[in-house]
Structure 1
Amino acid sequence: MDANDSKIIEDLRELILDAAVARFQRYGYGKTTMAEIAKDSDMSAANLYRYFKNKQDIAAVCAGRCMNEQQNLMCEFVRQSHSNAAETLRIFVVEGLKSTHQMYLEQPKINELVEFIASERQDIVHKKIQAQHNLITEILAQGNKSGEFNITDLVVTARAVQNALVKFNVPIFMALYPLDEFIVMANEVVDLILQGLQKQ
């Protein structure tokens, strides 16, 4: 297979994924069929199976792509120049919350896909958790370097911080409160975390 063939296959896979995402967002994961994805991709269902094994395979790649986009966005926020690590942590939490809340509002059927991934493809969830953990570790290390924090075990502390923030970055929780209330709660949690991290 030459480079042109690989490019054509990759483009077709992207076309299929775009069609699947649009259908998942509109009708939900459960009500979407391979035949409908194929039709939306202007191909036969038989042809669709040349690129993906089944609907679960498509859903897994869609979820991975969505998580990567969100992770890249969070990396940008973290790696922009901020005055200190405390500010970076606050921005990480609040902007992550805003992104998750916006996704929930714009894609109300997304929870079906989230539930499928959480039960059937935990490898994808663990990959997201690890990527988020790495970013929090990076923020805490920045705080140690600047003298704001004095953390002896960055990995364990990052995991504890991450666990405290779960409510603010899981789509299924987004129906609980309006965004402005969520932001107040997120800032309260960040304040508490920073009290424990900052040098006295």
Structure 2
Amino acid sequence: MGNEMSNGTSNENTYPVSSRGPADHDVRDQILHAATEHFSQYGYVKTTVSDLAKAIGFSKAYIYKFFPSKQVIGEMICANCLREIEAEVRAAIDEAERPPEKLRRMFKAIVEASVRLFFRDQKLYEIAASAASERWQAALAYEERMQQLLQDVLQQGRLSGDFERKTPLDETVMAIYLVIRPYLNPLLLQHSFDHASDASAQLSSLVLRSLSP
């Protein structure tokens, strides 16, 4: 495993394949699917690229043609999971009309989706934990998008008069993000799991009281 592990640089390209044809795209998807299955069974840390090659029936060199390291494979799998959470959160926000309800739904969707995705498969959880601890680009980009989504809701609330406007917006965004971060970050989520069922309602109520004009 040693030499096949990436050094974990966060600026490594998450999507290394640029303009390949349909056949190559299918092979890449096949590798990702097999990797997901293998990681689910044996864990991300214990699996090597050689293990994946044997499981798929490809040579290790052929896998490296599509993915320069195991981390890149893990990043793409992690990114897919994070997109699922983000899509669910966005859908929940869009269902509400007023900013306060949007914020409540955002908290609820984040907690429920994160808990479900990160704990339905303990082996795949290792990938999310690695992404968070090593600051993979997929995890960093996800955090930025969630902060932007939160900022959008807060801006709407300020324009509608539902939220106070005295505190600098960036300061408010970061403060609220830190409140919900234990349910977004898998390393923190494992310590917040016992309170997850009540967290979204209690935390969103607390935040909304602080936002009152």
Shorter-chain TM-score range: 0.7 to 0.9
- In structure 1, the partner of 2:86 is 71
Match among 88, 106, 123 for residue 109 of structure 1: 123
Which whole-Å CA distance do the structure 2 matches of 1:5 and 1:64 have between them? Answer: 20
Aligned to 1:162: 177
Give, in whole Å, the separation in 1 of the partners of 2:163 and 2:48: 51
What residue identity is the alignment partner of 2:161?
A: G
The match for 2:160 among 124, 127, 146 is 146
Map 1:20-169 → 2, pairs under 5 A: 20-80=35-95, 82-152=96-166, 153-169=168-184
Secondary structure at the aligned position of 1:140 is classed as helix
Q: Is the 2:81–2:117 contact (alpha carbons within 8 Å) kept by the matching residues of 1?
A: no
Bigger mean CA deviation after superposition, 132-141 or 55-64: 55-64
Q: Which string of whole-angstrom CA distances, capped at 9 and with x for unpartnered residues, describes residues 19-40 of structure 1?
A: 1122222221111121232233
User: What is the distance in 1 between the residues matched to 2:193 and 2:104?
Assistant: 19
**TM-score normalized by the length of structure 2:** 0.80
Decide whether the 8 Å contact of 2:44 with 2:126 is kept in 1: yes
Determine the C-alpha separation between the residues in 1 that align with 2:203 and 2:135: 30
Kindly provide the amino acid, as one letter, of the partner of residue 99 in structure 2.
A
Q: Which ranges in structure 1 are unaligned for 5 or more consecutive residues?
A: none
In structure 2, stretches of 5+ residues that fail to align are 1-18
C-alpha distance in 2 between matches for 1:30 and 1:16: 17
Q: CA separation of 1:130/1:113 partners in 2, compared to 1, >3 Å: closer, same or farther?
A: same
Distance 1:23 1:12 in 2: 16
Q: What code does the residue aligned with 1:10 have?
A: H
Contact 1:16 1:41 in 2 (8 A): yes
Contact 1:30 1:112 in 2 (8 A): yes
Inter-partner Cα distance in structure 2 for 1:175 and 1:160: 21
Residue number in structure 1 paired with 2:3: none
- CA distance in 1 between counterparts of 2:193 and 2:164 reads 35
Identity %: 24
2:129 and 2:186 in contact (8 A); partners too: no
Structure 1 residue aligned with 2:29: 14
Residue 151 and residue 126 in structure 1: after superposition, are their counterparts in 2 closer, same or farther (change >3 A)? farther
Distance 2:134 2:115 in 1: 24
Give the TM-score normalised by the residue count of structure 1. 0.85
